[in-house]
Every structure is written in structure tokens, then in C-alpha cells.
Chain A
Amino acid sequence: MAAAMPLALFVLLLPGPGGWCLAEPQRDSLREELVITPLPSGDVAATFQFRTRWDSELQREGVSHYRLFPKALGQLIAKYSLRELHLSFTQGFWRTRYWGPPFLQAPSGAELWVWFQDTVTDVDKSWKELSNVLSGIFCASLNFIDSTNTVTPTASFKPLGLANDTDHYFLRYAVLPREVVCTENLTPWKKLLPCSSKAGLSVLLKADRLFHTSYHSQAVHIRPVCRNARCTSISWELRQTLSVVFDAFITGQGKKDWSLFRMFSRTLTEPCPLASESRVYVDITNYNQDNETLEVNPAPTTTYQDVILGTRKTYAVYDLLDTAMIHNSRNLNIQLKWKRPPENGYIHYQPAQDRLQPHLLEMLIQLPANSVTKVSIQFERALLKWTEYTPDPNHGFYVSPSVLSALVPSMVAAKPVDWEESPLFNSLFPVSDGSNYFVRLYTEPLLVNLPTPDFSMPYNVICLTCTVVAVCYGSFYNLLTRTFHIEEPRTGGLAKRLANFIRRIRGVPPL
């Protein structure tokens, strides 16, 4: 043992930082990407994606050395046997009608959905603990997730990564519509990035600008992916995404001009040295169509064309890494079949139990073209127990947003893309073929006013009665239970005897 220790130290110290890559093939990689999309309404959307991929079996115990992958999350995966974790914080609402379909939408507030490994025995306990831990990591009130707002969807929220089976028992989903997202949630999110906010694209993530927008959504997605083409072993993928929509009307005084500096009050200076890929994509599709006299400055090095969300898009690509050195040359075409449920018109309803679990209504419906489908749910307003009201009961109570997941037939047939090579914004949702694309839309949360008692009066009454009771009861109790008896005067201590002695000498009556 004594001999082994120095040997181990020696082995660890000998290959310096430069030699590490030589000693072992690259085990983890970072790709970062920024997509800037001028929206139909004139606003500008910016979507950051950072992908950290690690070829490691995190589930196995004993993984202790972390390089790019954040240790906090890695340990979480190991400890709670996570298969997938999706967490998003959103402030604002993606207005699909005006902004077009989003790359990734999230409901207003905080959303967390997790697939656990099938080795987990007590899923609810793990879920509870996990939400508390995440609450600490992201400085959010995720600890408010409990059985009353957790559901287990049966049709939606399939795993996005590698999955052998999809037993819904291991899925948990919760939304906290009241969660307010602010700097304290952004900072821990930024700290998960390998370059933090020191270099690369993350330099642009200045809180004061990001929260000056119409929409702010940040998310963390963890999932297992195939390590190689044959999918013999798995890698872990961490995606950190952040979308913001800048209000062109306010920032640009009604003009369509924008620049990185104007949006983020920063410019890009250097790539993140740890990143294997660092790119900025600018959607120039509409500019080409409209034949606008428009200049993208500086001129893009290359352009990228693809079918995104059913339409053909052209992107100007800026590669932040000067050389065409791309470490990642493995060709991997992941084929994940999106399991279609066998029958159409699936309806799953799980009624609520008061104070235990919420309602869950899942409907699988085929919408006719150019039609309006209205799903309405009748509900009754009931009085809550008086301790269940929030401190601001007259604000109303939130009903979580509903989720619409759809496989939309694409207008243009997309060519099957190399999944590993395509930009990050195009590859979060697994799509089986080019004729469909997947969207997930969220509705606004609903604010419902419940009958609210006038809290001012009961509170006063309670305070007053408690005071009266305390005062009356206290004194009465004292009077009734205490016994009073006259205490015989003691002969006194030394001081008294001394005083009496002096008094006797002076001829004054003693005390």
C-alpha cells in the first residue's frame, strides 16, 4: 500500500496537460453554437446551445475525474441513476403566431422532467431528492415540486436519447408556473459551462442584457447518446440551451438593424479554447427571398442550408475556430425510432386527488387541416383550507400550461443528415426521417381566481382572541394554580446581622 501510493501519484503527474490527449483518445468534447434568427415580427431571437459530450459510463461508481462535464451534474446522474434530465427556466412566453415555430419551447416558469433508470426502486423518493438538489444547484424553488404538481405522462415526453424501453413508471414531469427566472438562475447555469463566461460564445451572456428581452428561456438537457455508429456503448450528452428574443421595437427604434454589440453589449473576441466547435449561425433565408439590399458584416465564411422545422433555411456560418480543424470526425448516424402509438384517438385521464396529485389529461388527436380545435375543461372553484392559501391569495392560482407535442409533416423533404455533424439547433429532437419534424408547443399558464376569504379580518380576530386568551388565561391560571403563603422572615445573612450590630451600637431599632 505504501509503495502503491507514490506510484499512483507518479502516474498521475507524469503526463502533463499537453500529454493527456495523447495518452488517451479525446473522451469529452464541447461544441458551442449561437443561432441568430430574425423573426417574422421584426424581433431577433438568439439561441445559444452548448453541448458537452462525455464518453464515459457515469452510472458506474468511481468516476471521479471530470474535465469538461460539470461534476455537479455528473454526480447527480450517478447518485440518482438518471437516464434523462430536462430542466428549463423560462421568463415570458414564446409567441408562435408572431415569432414562428421555436427551436425549443418551454413553458413559462420552471419545467422539470426526468427519466430514471429502471434500477431505481423508489422513483418518487429519488424524484423528491433530485428536485431538492437541483433547487440548490440552480438557486430555484424546485423544492416546491411535490406529489401535488407531479404527473407521469403516458403518451408524451418520450425519452429523447437512447432508450431501450419506455416504461412510464420511471418518468416524472412537473411545472412550476410561478417560478420567476432571474440572474441568480443564470449564474449557476453559466458556471456549468467549461469556459464559464470567460471566453467563447458565453462572453455574450451578460445578465443585464439577457433579462432586458421579451423572452428568456434557459435549459439543461442531459441524455445518453450512442458513442459510435454501432452504438456499442453510450456517451453522456449535456446540452445547455438559452434562447432570448430581443424586442426590435424598443432596442432598434423600429429599425430591423441589429448587431451583436447592440444586443449583448459585448462582441466575440476569442473562441473557448476547450471547444471543439464554436460557430455562429445567422438565418439569412428571408433576406435572400426578399431581395433586400442587406449586408452581413463581416461576410460569412460559409453558408449552411438545411430544412429546419419544415422549411428550407439558409444560414451564414461563422466559425470561431480559425483552422478547419475539427476533432470530431466520427460519422455517427443515430437512428431513433419515434414510437408511434398503435391507435389514434388515445385519451388518458388521471383524475386528481385533492392535495395529492394533479389532474392529467392526455389526448392523442389527429387535427384536420386548416381547422380550429378547442379543448375546454370545466372546473369548479372551491375554497381551500385556510393554510393552503399563498401569501398573496388574491393574485390567483396558476394552472400549468398545457403541452402540445406534434410530428408535423414537413413542407420540404429534408435530406437525412449526419446527426453528429449537423448544427446543434437541428438535432435535439430525434426525427426518424426527413418528411416530418417534431415540435413541442406550450400554452400560457392560466391564472385562476379562487374564492378567497378576507384574510385581514380573521387574522385580526385570531390575533385579538389569542391576546385576550393569553392575558386572561395566563393570569387566571396563575391565580388558580398558585398557592400563596406568607414567608417567615429569615434571620438574615451576614450583612444584615452586621447592620443590626451597628444599629444596636448606635441605639437605633434593628431591621
Chain B
Amino acid sequence: TVSIVHVLSYLAGIAWFLALAFPPLTQRTYMSENAMGSTMVEEQFAGGDRARALARDFAAHRRKSGALPVAWLERTMRSVGLEVYTQSFSRKLPFPDETHERYMVSGTNVYGILRAPRAASTESLVLTVPCGSDSTNSQAVGLLLALAAHFRGQIYWAKDIIFLVTEHDLLGTEAWLEAYHDVNVTGMQSSPLQGRAGAIQAAVALELSSDMVTSLDVAVEGLNGQLPNLDLLNLFQTFCQKGGLLCTLQGKLQPQDWTSLDGPLQGLQMLLLMVLRQASGRPHGSHGLFLRYRVEALTLRGINSFRQYKYDLVAVGKALEGMFRKLNHLLERLHQSFFLYLLPALSRFVSIGLYMPAAGFLLLVLGLKISSLHEAGVGLEPGGSPGPSVPLPPAQGVGLASLVAPLLISQAMGLALYVLPVLGQHVAAQHFPVAEAEAVVLTLLAIYAAGLALPHNTHRVVSTQAPDRGWMVLKLVALIYLALQLGCIVLTNFSLGFLLAATMVPTAALAKPHGSRTLYAVLLVLTSPAATLFGSLFLWRELQEAPLSLAEGWQLFLAALAQGVLEHHTYGALLFPLLSLGLYPCWLLFWNVLFWK
């Protein structure tokens, strides 16, 4: 009962999405904020040597102490004329983080505030450098300190500037942000902040690990797919062009030729990369955590590759100086430009009005399917619908009652998937020769697979007059459930919603307990949320031109599962609860439809 309209609608959705990278749908970016647009500032930063010297000192002290050299940082920040404060924090992760090799984390954030003269500390800007356990980002700290020294000597600041160095990269940032806004959303234990500087207007995170860079990569995707205002990216791009810096997005150079097919195809590649990154819902850089507090932020990463032309720290510093001076001009928060967009290139964007139809077409398939089922006489009204179908028997209530068990069971499976892995990690680690992190991942997979095997349909009484009624009602409910969920997700995180819709919609529309069940089952398994994640990893590496082998892919998949759970607990990423409590139970309903007895 899949009509040509369904197929066409689905194909239209996919085609529309693929067409997003082509010029009529992509537009050139432009600066909307007047306060940052008209005047060009003259950058005077010349502290390259100072930055390198500070970076060397910092690296030496860090090697010596084996942690963030808090005392040295405090001393140095004070010597350049900042108000310096520290914040200590500690966090016990729900299970050991094998990727970053940490479990019980305690650290100290150091931040210095440059007080704007004659301002009452109502607004501020943040320059932050996340420092991990390895010895990266020393140059970023050096540049931060040199910039602080330069900024301190200027008199034009209207907003306070916070120079923040966090330990344990994102964990430190999360602790600092929570303390700054006086909230506790992730169970982080931290000391209260002594120094504050009003509402943060914008933040820039800096990651630099070499004295010379060949290009600057910018990351915008934040927690739960949030994006900063497009004007912040435009600002960065302006200074890239002004300083002649090579700037990249998704680690890729900007396609030049948009008239032929090459440019848009490269753009499509970058668009897909962005969609995958946004869909993952993880913060791609410490800027991602600022976005939750409505602080526009992005991360700049210095890349040092084998390219011939290299830029020293002065060039990067000048770009940052320019950005901060322009942000300093802001009279209001960044609000003029887009908050919801996709980027096929650094200087091109697709606005929400243009990409939404792609998801709309996919969801239309569900809508059509729901209405066609409804027309076929499957209604949830106990009295029966006065439709054209055969007069319904008095045992109409069967349709509703038979739904309760599968709905409850699938939802319970989802709950188990959400709760049990972390809760039962110690039990699992005791009984099986695995580490806690592995135990969590394996429990996750086991529960996920077990969901398929459970009997859902406990109701044995099947109406003889309308044998198809049972599963059709279940399918109707499942379709409505899926359509509602996808509709909500698409509105908040288009990338995630589109990826899920593109995979789940066709099989959801097809599912029925007739025909070749094995084929349908294979299709359904291939489009389950976990399989989508698995496939996305391969697509991701393929687009980055670093293809994965199957074994590597599996390892990466396990790591991604662990990271997903961990990020939910440490930063509040919503992908894991969304999949386990929402989409997985919904998907189980379709599985149930398929194996309806």
C-alpha cells in the first residue's frame, strides 16, 4: 500500500537536501550586525615573541608540575594587570572515560578579568583556552596571555574581558560556566566564583599547539546541535580575509568555483560533514558549552600541516584582537543574523527557510501514511468510525487493549536502556572480565538486542472479522509517535532530525506483517538508531577521506556509544536519552508490527 506519492515525497525530500549545496539555495553570508559592520578596526598586536616565550614557560611549568601550573598562571596574569581568580572543581564520572583516560577528575580553572574602565561590569567577553591532560594548547595559553597584556594597555574597552584557562578541557569549562551562572545541571562540584563580570556577550575558544600555523579551522557546532549566531562566524571570516589567513571549516578549504559543478559538490561534502557533526549533539570544542547559556561562541583551532605558507602567532593574535574589538562595539547581544543555518562553505550558508522543506517532505510521507491508515478505517475511537470500511464488530475495543502491552513493553525497554548500563556497570564488571566502560557499552548493546527478542504481543485474541486491524492500529500509533518525535527533533536540531527521518521513515512506512518478513526485518535492523549511528561513523570518515575498516569502525562505534552516555552525564547532551527513551521504543513498535502474529 505504498503509493507513488509516498515514494515521490521521500525522493523529493532527499533531493531537496542534496540540492542545498547548490547556489540558488545557498547564499553568500553577510554581516547583519550594524555595530560590527561599518567600521574596520586597526589591529596593533605585536606580541608574537612574548606569546612564544610565555607558551614555552607555560609548557615547562606544566611538564614540571604534571598539571595546570595554577600558581604560575596566577602570577603571570597578575603581572599583566588582570584581576585573577581561581576555581577548583571535582567530578566523578559515571564510569571511566577511556578516550580521555579519566575517572575521578579534580582540577582548577584560572581566569583573569580585564576590567573595562568606567564600565560597571555588566557585560563581558570571554577568551578561553581549554587545557587537557596532554601537553597541547600551550601556544594558545601563551597567545592568550600576550593578548591579555596587549589588551590591558588599551583604553577603549567597554566590556570586561575574561581570560579563562580551564583544566580538563570541557569539564573545566562546564564547571566554570555552571558556577558563573550559579546553576548545577550536571552534578559538578565546584567552588563558587569570586569574580564575575556580568552577562557574557560572546566567547571565543582557542586551540593552538604549534608556534606556526598553516590554517585556522573554525568549529561552530555546539551541545545538542546548537549553533552560534551566524554573525560571529561572519566576523571571524572578515578577519580571515583581512589578515590573509587561510581559514577552513570542517578542516576543508573553501570551494572557490561555484559556477561549475565542482564547488557545489565540495560544498555538499562539507554540508554533510556539518550535518553529521551537528547531529551527534556533542560539543565540538569548549565553545559548545557556552551556547547553552545563550553566549554566542566558537572555537578556533590552529592547524599545522605540510602546507608551505605558514602564519605566526602575530597573525592569529591580530585576528583575535580584531574580533574582540568588534565584539566590544556591540550594543546588544548578537541577534541580527541567523541562529539556525547549515554551512556548505565558510562564506555560504543555507537558511532555515530553505532547508526545512527537505525534512518537511520526509515527514509528509509519515503524514500521508497516517491519513491513509486512518481512511482505511483504523481509528482509535472506540465507537468505530463511520468510514467506508465494513461495519465494525462489537469487539472493537480489542484494537485499543492490544496496544497497551506492546507500548508498555517497548517503553520499558527504552527505560532499561537508559538506566541499566550505568546503574549496573559494577555488577557487570564483577561477573564478567570487563572494565566498567566496556561493561556499560556491552550492557547497552545487550539490552538493545534483547529488545528485539522480547515477545511484545501478549494479546492472543485476534478479531476474525478484521484480522489486520490489530497491527494496523499499532502501526498507526507508532507512525504518529514517530512523526511527532521527528517533528520536534527537526525543529531543534535539523541535522539529527533529518538523518533519523531519512533512515527511519521508509521502513516505518513499509512495515507490515505480510510478504517477505526476512527482508523487511533486515531493512528495519539496518535503519534502527544504532545502525544509523554505525553507518554515520563510516560516512563521516569517508567524507573526511580517511575511510574506516570494519574492525576500526566497530571499535569507533563502541567508543562513540560510551562517549554518548558519558556526555549525557557530564555535559547534559540529549542524544542518548532521546534515542533510548524516544526513538528506540518507537522503533521497537515497528519491529512489533513486523512480527505481529
Contacts and interface: CB of A to CB of B under 8 A. Distances in A.
- Is the A/B pair a real complex? yes
Interface of A: 90-93, 95, 97-98, 108-109, 177, 211-216, 247, 249-250, 254, 372, 376, 392-396, 398, 401, 444-449, 452, 456
A91 B117 CA distance: 9
Interface stretch (B135-143, B262-270, B328-336, B456-464): B328-336
Given A98-B83, A249-B81, A449 B333 contact: yes
Given A249-B81, A447-B198, A214 B331 contact: no
A92 B120 contact: yes
Given A250-B155, A392-B331, A449 B119 contact: no
B327 to A, nearest CB: 14
Interface in B130-185: 152-153, 155, 182
A216 B116 CA distance: 13
22 contacts: A93-B120, A95-B83, A97-B195, A98-B83, A108-B122, A109-B120, A177-B120, A177-B122, A212-B117, A215-B117, A215-B118, A216-B118, A247-B155, A250-B153, A392-B331, A393-B332, A395-B331, A395-B333, A444-B121, A444-B196, A446-B122, A456-B336
B335 A444 contact: no
A459 B118 CA distance: 35
B120 A394 contact: no
Contacts of A452: 335
Given A250-B155, A445-B120, A447-B199, A396 B333 contact: yes
A385 B254 CA distance: 45
Interface string B317-333: 00000000000000111
A287 B68 CA distance: 37
Interface of B: 81, 83, 115, 117-123, 152-153, 155, 182, 192, 194-196, 198-199, 294, 331-333, 335-336
Contacts of B121: 93, 444
Contacts of A392: 331-332
Contacts, number: 78
Nearest to B152: A249
A444 B198 contact: yes
Contacts of B294: 449
A211 B118 contact: yes
Given A444-B198, A446-B198, A214 B118 contact: yes
B122 A445 contact: yes
Contacts of A215: 117-118
Given A95-B83, A215-B117, A447-B123, 19 more contacts: A90-B120, A91-B120, A92-B118, A92-B120, A93-B119, A98-B83, A108-B122, A212-B155, A214-B117, A249-B81, A249-B152, A249-B153, A392-B331, A393-B332, A396-B333, A444-B198, A449-B199, A449-B294, A456-B336
Interface of chain A, helix or strand or loop or mixed?
loop
Contact of A247 (B117, B123, B182): B117
Contacts of A401: 120
Nearest to A92: B118
Contacts of A447: 122-123, 198-199
Nearest to B155: A250
Contact of B115 (A95, A211, A376): A95
Nearest to B195: A97
Residue among B117, B192, B294, B333 with the highest chain A CB neighbour number at 10 A = B117
A394 B231 CA distance: 15
Residue among A97, A108, A372, A395 with the highest chain B CB neighbour number at 10 A = A395
Contacts of B118: 91-92, 211, 213-216
A376 B120 contact: no
B152 A92 contact: no
A54 B294 CA distance: 55
A214 to B, nearest CB: 4
A394 B294 CA distance: 12
A254 B120 CA distance: 23
Instruction: Rank and list the top 10 A-B pairs by shortest CB-CB distance, nearest first.
Output: A108-B120, A394-B332, A92-B118, A91-B118, A214-B117, A447-B122, A395-B332, A93-B120, A394-B335, A249-B81
Contacts of A214: 115, 117-118
Contacts of B153: 249-250
Contacts of B119: 91-93
Contacts of B335: 394, 452
A374 to B, nearest CB: 8
Contacts of B81: 249, 254
B333 A398 contact: no
A107 to B, nearest CB: 8
Nearest to A91: B118
Contact of A444 (B83, B117, B120, B192): B120
B333 A394 contact: yes
A331 to B, nearest CB: 42
Contacts of A211: 118
A92 B160 CA distance: 11
A398 B117 contact: no
Contacts of B195: 97
A376 B183 CA distance: 12
A301 B121 CA distance: 41
Residue among B83, B120, B122, B332 with the highest chain A CB neighbour number at 10 A = B120
Contacts of B115: 93, 95, 214
A462 to B, nearest CB: 19
Contacts of A398: 122
Contacts of A95: 83, 115
Nearest to B79: A254
Contacts of A91: 118-120
Contacts of A372: 192
A398 B335 CA distance: 18
B336 to A, nearest CB: 8
Nearest to A390: B332
A95 B117 CA distance: 11
Contacts of B192: 372
Contacts of A393: 332
A92 B117 contact: yes
A446 B198 CA distance: 7
Residue among A109, A216, A444 with the highest chain B CB neighbour number at 10 A = A444
A181 to B, nearest CB: 8
A142 to B, nearest CB: 18
A489 B333 CA distance: 68
Contacts of B117: 92, 212-215, 247
A249 B420 CA distance: 58
Contacts of B152: 249-250
A393 B331 CA distance: 10
Contacts of A396: 122, 199, 333
A316 B332 CA distance: 47
Nearest to A95: B115
B224 to A, nearest CB: 20
Residue among B122, B192, B195, B198 with the highest chain A CB neighbour number at 10 A = B122
Nearest to B153: A250
Contacts of B331: 392, 395
Nearest to A211: B118
A384 to B, nearest CB: 16
Contacts of B336: 456
Nearest to B81: A249
B151 to A, nearest CB: 11
A469 B447 CA distance: 63
B232 to A, nearest CB: 14
Nearest to A108: B120
B122 A444 contact: yes
A393 B152 CA distance: 30
Nearest to A401: B120
B32 to A, nearest CB: 10
B21 to A, nearest CB: 27
A447 B158 CA distance: 14
A434 to B, nearest CB: 32
Contacts of A250: 152-153, 155
A82 to B, nearest CB: 28
Nearest to A181: B118
Contacts of A93: 115, 119-121
B78 to A, nearest CB: 10
